[in-house]
Each structure stands twice: as structure tokens, then as C-alpha cells.
Amino acid sequence: MDSISLKDKVAVITGASRGLGRAMALEFGRLGAFTIVNYVREEKGAQQTLDMLREAGGDGAIAMADVRKADEVNAMFSHIFKTYKKVDVLVNNAGITRDEYFMMMRPQSWLELMDVHLNGVFYCSKAVIRNMCAARKGVILNIGSGSALVAMPGQVNYSASKAGLLGFSRSLAREVAGKGVRVIHVAPGFFESDMTVTLDPEFIKETFEVTPLGRWGSGVEMAAVATFLASDDCSFFTGHSIVVDGGRGAVEAEYGS
């Protein structure tokens, strides 16, 4: 991976104040991209991400915007384009969970997932797509979930929103491929992050047992995938989904689970 370079690229990563977003931001910065760390509430966490990035020899900035709000997204990207002139890579990473069994699911829990995972991706992608097409280059990475492909009880809202993101990615990729812009969907399985630390230990043990590699992924592993996909080394890849789940999805599909 040391041969990959993102030098002279400007990358925007939403939801990068912690977790997988932070891990990706650090690797983008390490490989030379000027990395913009988006956050909505955790300014301190975003600043910590930026400080870590700079300590590792990279550079970047923090930018506040709630991806659910078009006016905030547009203001953030207007500032980015005015200040840095371009966006080479957009990583739509911001995500939330509102797990509830469907019979007890509140409409708010459904709407909040759609708002972040679909509307947020729409607003952010819309804000960069014209400039990318005009420049005839650019990459949009949409961070989905293995839950879009493997059924998980209590996640009807989460799975539906992430499955919608897969369709969004494929369709947009086809629209803009002729303009030199690539759109890729990434479906992580279980990764160590802030979203998973509260899970029941017994459930975690069960996930290890159904994952061929017998463990969860790390942020470093996720970041390696994202930076490769965003790099010019991967310039002939678009419109597809990369599943990064330790083999779990393949096994469950094989057994019809």
C-alpha cells in the first residue's frame, strides 16, 4: 500500500470525528491528500482527528455541517471550493443506528436513518458532482453496510437505507462514468468502532463464529480499502460494491441464512 499516493488531492470525509471516519481520514492524510474532516456535533473529536493527521505528517481542515440539512451542506462545500478550489474525493461515511424490531419501530427511527444515509448522501454528492464532471475526474465513495446484503433482525430501517445507498451508487456511477467520475459502494461487515462498543458480548462472540476470519475488521484495514479505491491505481473501477466483511456475507449466502 505504500506505493499508493493521494498527493495533491482534496478529500472530504463526512462523519470523520471518530471511528471508521477518523481511520480513513488519517490514512488519506498519510498518503498525501489534503483531508477535510466533517463533523456535526463533535468539534473536539474532529479537531483531534486533524491533530492526529498533522502529527503523522498530513494536512487538512475541519468543517461543520449536518449532512441532513441541504443549506449546511451547500455552505460547507461552497467554502471548500472557494478556499481549496476542488474536491477530488468525497467519502460519504456519516451514519447512525436506530435498531428496533419492526413491530415496535417508531416512524422517527425510520425517518432518521433515511435522512442521514440517503438524503445526506444525496446532498453531499449533489454539491460536488458538477465540479467533478467539469474537471472530468473525481471519486465518490459511499460507505454502506453488509446489513444491506445479509439480513439482520432489528435493522429493517438500517438495512433498507443501506440497500438504497447501493442502488444510488450504481445508478449515479453509470450516469457520470463518461465524465471521468467514479462512484463506488463499500459494504463493511463488523468493524471495531464507536457504533459497536455497546453491543452485547455474547452477540459479538456469535459474529466471530459466523465470520470465516474469526474476528472483526480494524479501522486501518477499512482505511486501506478506501484509499486504494480512491487512488488513481484503481482508475478502472466504478459502479460496483466492495464487500469488506471477513467472508461473512459469502458464507451466509452459501447457506441461505
Question: What positions carry a catalytic annotation?
Answer: 158
Report the distance separating Cα 195 and Cα 39, nearest Å: 16
Q: Do the beta carbons of residue 235 and residue 177 sit within 8 Å?
A: no
Single-letter residue type at 108: Q
Taking alpha carbons only, the member of 166, 77, 69, 67 closest to residue 129 is 77
Measure Cα distances from 83 to 61, 77, 200 in Å: 11, 10, 45
Report the distance separating Cα 171 and Cα 201, nearest Å: 38
Cell of 132: 467533478
Opening angle at CA 191, ends 188 and 196, nearest 5: 120
Side-chain-side CA neighbours of 134 within 13 Å: the count stands at 8
Opening angle at CA 95, ends 1 and 4, nearest 5: 10
Single-letter residue type at 52: M
**In 3-state terms, the chain is what percent helix, strand and coil (to 5)?**
50, 15, 35
